[in-house]
Amino acid sequence: MARPKKWRKVCCLPKQNRYGPLMGGRMAEESINMTIDEYETIRLIDLEEFTQEDCAKQMNIARTTVQGIYNSARMKLADSLVNGKILLIKGGEYELCDGLEEFCRCGGCHKHRCAALLQQEREKR
């Protein structure tokens, strides 16, 4: 029997999910798909300057898994930049965290949930 997949905790979703060249008529088949969990490793390690160990704790996965995800994400970023391909960020095996994680520093969880609640309140009025 196969081991069940472990959902990766993600703090916040990207504000934009499509990146690419401003000029040129690249076709849709020349796009690269980066998963949300790959995006999260790039955000945590490169932007937030987490170690791979801290990133693993935040995402609730093994450090070796983080290393594999991170390497895959870096290859996709490089391919997009060097070859002018469209980068799409979507999918993956993830769940949004509740904002209570010890290492959560972006505040994105809380901000996004508060913004969603405010929007729901406005829609009720």
Q: What is the pTM of this model?
A: 0.74
- pLDDT at site 62: 93
Residues of the chain short of pLDDT 70, as ranges, are 24-29, 99-125
The beta strands (E) that lie in the chain are given as 8-10, 18-19, 31-34, 86-89, 94-96
Domain locations in the chain? Answer: 28-124
- pLDDT at site 33: 96
Give buried/exposed letters for 36-45 (b at 16+ CB in 10 A, else e).
Answer: bbbbbbbbbb
